[in-house]
């Protein structure tokens, strides 16, 4: 009887899980394993680039790749996981409900920024978390040119000084000059709860972030917490106001809500605890990968972060191991010793670090060149060619 692997999500992790499972199934053609992906669109949305302009173009089609590799695609949204009956309920684009059975389920439904825990943020702040919301932000920024000149119009507040906030903030001085003109007196402020800019990073990386921010005129307000957001700006705890027509929210990222439908331990961000095979604790037939997985990367106490570099490799191992279970092949324990970061710093350039201790290896134009090659080539889907895609889908193929 044919066995079914069902993958929820066609992002970085879901796409690679599907390819890796298809690769292993292809290596055992006497067995019959079918691989199906369910997602709202057959496209990879390149979230790491959503701080850039022309955001609607930052997608890559997946249907030709799935066709070339024998992966079935169902266009829709999963609404309910039913582990007891090994099925998921999903709704198609016309709103019709369906049930889809599985022998192995791979949850790869990603994450989203949560704007609802600060008063007014949901209604008045923008974000760059998903294609639709990033497109709304881009339209808003462009429309500033047609608004009456004021401090509030010329000021952008970025809430949160993590990687997403930094990349957005340091991109903005040039973007605002393009939109408002070279002579406009623009202001970009990063509001950060920590005691200094980049406080959670290594000293070397922090120094680069501080230097680049200063050179581009990006201000940091540290030890600062947002109390509320309204149509005219933000109020900080302590009462300080910043007038702004553009407040961008980047903090409070949570794993996709489907994780809460599985009765298993989760981390504070909602990620499901998984073992080294990437099976969810207590469920041999359910795997979690990418931003929904809380997975140890090594034996030194490091865990996967919500990043593409982890999502891609987690996906390859999850797909391989789900197929291995059905094919009677030994699974591969997930390991990802290397950790690098490459942070875009706008007109200043970029910074590239290696290791969990974030040693700075490249800066400025050299790092920017690397950043471009990562975000416009490395993380894009492979060519729609079975041999090429399966070669890269091998979990043990060289990666960063």
Ligand X SMILES: Cc1cc2nc3c(=O)[nH]c(=O)nc-3n(C[C@H](O)[C@H](O)[C@H](O)COP(=O)(O)OP(=O)(O)OC[C@H]3O[C@@H](n4cnc5c(N)ncnc54)[C@H](O)[C@@H]3O)c2cc1C
Residue number of the CB closest to ligand X reads 11
Residue 355 CA to residue 200 CA, distance in Å, equals 15
Residue 188 pairs with which residues in a beta bridge?
A: 156, 218
* CB 380, min distance to ligand X, A: 13
Nearer to ligand X, 6 or 153 (CB): 6
Nearest residue (CB) to ligand X, 50 versus 220: 50
Alpha helices in the chain (DSSP H): 12-26, 63-69, 121-124, 131-143, 151-154, 163-180, 203-216, 308-327, 364-373, 386-393
Which one, of 175, 153, 164, 159, lies nearest residue 220 by Cα? 159
Residue count (the chain): 400
Residues binding ligand X (CB under 6 A): 8-14, 38-40, 47-48, 50-51, 77-78, 108-110, 128-129, 164, 256, 258, 290-291, 306-309, 311
- Going by DSSP bridges, is the β-strand pair 286-288/104-107 parallel, antiparallel, or unpaired? parallel
CA distances from 109 to 88, 197, 293, 310 (A): 13, 31, 10, 14
Secondary structure of residue 325 in the 3-state scheme: helix
Contact in structure between 113 and 250 (CB atoms under 8 Å): yes
Gyration radius (Cα) of the chain, Å: 22
DSSP string, 20-62: HHHHHHHT-TTS-EEEEEEESSSEEE-GGGTTSS-GGG-EEE-
Measured from the CB atom, is 39 or 190 closer to ligand X?
A: 39
* CB nearer to ligand X: pick between 179 and 400: 400
Cβ nearer to ligand X, comparing 11 with 349: 11
Tell me how far CA of residue 279 lies from CA of 107, 291, 382, in angstroms. 10, 14, 26
Burial class (CB in 10 A: 0-12, 13-18, 19+), 136: middle
First to last CA, the chain: 38
Encoded tokens for 376? 């416009």
| Shortest Å, Cβ 69 to ligand X | 17
62-79 burial, b if ≥16 CB within 10 A, otherwise e? beebbebbebebeebbbe
Residue with Cβ nearer ligand X (10 or 125): 10
Given the complex with ligand X, which of 110 and 319 has the nearer CB atom? 110
Give whichever of 154 and 350 is closer to ligand X, judged by the CB atom.
350
* Alpha carbon distance 304, 273 (integer Å): 11
Q: How far is the CB of 79 from ligand X (least distance, A)?
A: 7
Cβ distance to ligand X smaller for residue 154 or 304: 304
Q: How far is the CB of 84 from ligand X (least distance, A)?
A: 19
Whichever of 89 and 204 has its CB closer to ligand X, that residue is: 89
Cα separation, 147 vs 387, whole angstroms? 53
């Amino acid at each position: 009887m044919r066995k079914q692997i069902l993958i929820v999500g066609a992002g970085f992790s879901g796409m690679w899980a599907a390819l890796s499972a298809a690769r292993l199934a292809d290596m055992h053609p006497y067995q019959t394993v079918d691989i199906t992906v369910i997602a709202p669109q057959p496209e990879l949305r390149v979230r790491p680039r959503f701080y850039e302009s022309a955001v609607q173009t930052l997608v890559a089609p997946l249907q030709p790749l799935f066709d070339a590799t024998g992966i079935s695609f169902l266009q829709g949204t999963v609404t309910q996981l039913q582990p007891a009956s090994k099925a998921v309920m999903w709704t198609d684009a016309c709103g019709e409900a369906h049930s889809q059975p599985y022998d192995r389920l791979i949850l790869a439904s990603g994450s989203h920024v949560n704007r609802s825990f600060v008063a007014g943020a949901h209604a008045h702040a923008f974000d760059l978390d998903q294609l639709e919301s990033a497109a709304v932000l881009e339209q808003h920024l462009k429309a500033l040119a047609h608004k009456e000149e004021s401090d509030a119009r010329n000021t952008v507040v970025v809430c949160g000084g993590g990687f997403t906030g930094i990349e957005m903030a340091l991109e903005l001085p040039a973007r605002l000059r393009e939109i408002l003109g070279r002579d406009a007196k623009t202001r970009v402020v990063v509001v950060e709860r920590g005691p200094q800019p980049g406080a959670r990073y290594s000293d070397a990386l922090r120094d680069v972030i501080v230097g680049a921010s200063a050179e581009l005129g990006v201000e940091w307000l540290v030890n600062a917490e947002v109390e509320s957001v309204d149509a005219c700006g933000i109020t900080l705890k302590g009462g300080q106001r910043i007038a702004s027509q553009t407040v961008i929210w980047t903090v409070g990222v949570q794993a996709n809500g489907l994780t809460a439908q599985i009765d298993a331990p989760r981390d504070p961000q909602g990620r499901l605890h998984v073992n080294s095979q990437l099976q969810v604790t207590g469920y041999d037939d359910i795997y979690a990968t990418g931003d929904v997985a809380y997975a140890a990367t090594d034996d030194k106490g490091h865990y996967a972060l919500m990043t593409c570099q982890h999502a891609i490799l987690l996906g390859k191992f999850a797909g391989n191991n789900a197929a291995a279970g059905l094919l009677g092949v030994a699974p591969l324990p997930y390991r990802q010793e290397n950790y690098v970061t490459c942070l875009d710093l706008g007109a200043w350039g970029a910074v590239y670090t290696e290791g969990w201790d974030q040693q700075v290896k490249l800066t400025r134009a050299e790092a920017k060149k690397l950043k471009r090659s990562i975000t416009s080539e490395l993380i894009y889907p492979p060519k729609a060619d079975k041999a090429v895609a399966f070669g890269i889908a091998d979990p043990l193929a060289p990666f960063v």
